[in-house]
Amino acid sequence: MKSALCSTLLAIACLGIATYTLADEPRRPECIAPASPGGGFDLTCKLAQTALLDSKKISRPMRVTYMPGGIGAVAYNAVVAQRASEGGTITAFSSGSLLNLAQGKFGRFDENAVKWLAAVGSSYGAIAVRADSEFKTLDDLIAAMKKDPSKVVIGSGGTVGSQDWMQTALIARAAGIDPRKLRYVAMEGGGELATSLLGGHIHVASTDISDSVPHIESGGIRILAILSDERLPGDSVADIPTAKEQGYDVSWPVVRGFYMGPDVSDEDYAWWKNTFDEILASEDYATLREQRELFPFSMTGEELDTYVKKRVADYKQLAAEFGLTQ
């Protein structure tokens, strides 16, 4: 009798524990992609969406919402000023976001205004052209820009000073070209950038290799150079040369991750941090990340916060070199 009673009490206790665990799951999980559909922020949110559901950390799909504007500025300001305490909402960021923060492009809020949650992978900058472009190599492009920079229309995800602008500016500087003479057209994220390139509205796209893989595989675009130290693994990208091997000492890694509002409770933040810690350590996640042509870069919590602050400081120095800040 006593044994049966103990078993019953144990079962009730376990049920209580299970109920508590489920209660910790966000009721309406949401990932904000601070751009139009189809770019790197979209990819980052959907990677987390799949990983969370596949690992059964959430019982319903996480909603992905799009909040374009100011290359992340609109979303950043909305999260800090209007959605500061939402424990179920995470927002995607990239190295480009940190570069914009370094230049004060997010308005009155700086890198200390949010809770940095997790970095989930990395990619690299890339210089892309349409498959039928006259530019067959990076040298071809450099020669055209030296001859008459006004005749080469370069699309970038953002205005002067953005991450995509910085990529081509660094290459131009390495080639002895004044970056201020280049002809840029600002786009709102990688999806719009790819559409403009494929439609022939621009000649060159300063982009991200992860965003580009679907278009490489479909035959729509070619990559003249990847901005990594060495060639990257993967069937779609292994044969693409780096800028460095073509004589231009430029590398631009792109970290991708998430932040949360400044007033999110410690309990909600801990749930997300612990969840990402477990997911990022799994082999299943490594497979998901590789399928999206992202490379390992895992960091959460205080470690990520320290990394972000250091990168923003580095970007401030780089921006000053190009005369982008006072």
Per-block mean pLDDT, blocks of 10 residues, the chain (326 long): 45 40 76 91 96 96 94 94 97 94 93 98 96 96 95 88 91 94 84 89 92 89 96 91 96 96 97 97 96 93 98 94 81
Label residue 198 exposed, middle or buried (CB < 10 Å: 0-12, 13-18, 19+): middle
- The dihedrals phi and psi of 249, each to the nearest 5 degrees, come to -80, 75
Question: Tokens standing for 110?
Answer: 């700086």
Between the alpha carbon of residue 129 and those of residues 27, 192, 304, the distances in Å are 43, 14, 34
pLDDT at 303: 98
Torsion over CA of 139, 141, 145 and 151, rounded to 10 degrees? 160
| Domains assigned to the chain | 25-123+254-321 (3.40.190.150), 124-253 (3.40.190.10)
pLDDT at 10: 45
pLDDT at 326: 52
Label residue 108 exposed, middle or buried (CB < 10 Å: 0-12, 13-18, 19+): exposed
* Dihedral-angle region of residue 191 (phi above 0 means left; psi in -120 to 50 means alpha; beta otherwise): alpha
- The dihedrals phi and psi of 12, each to the nearest 5 degrees, come to -65, -40
Label residue 45 exposed, middle or buried (CB < 10 Å: 0-12, 13-18, 19+): buried
Rounded to whole angstroms, the Cα distance separating 149 from 20 reads 62
Specify the pTM.
0.81
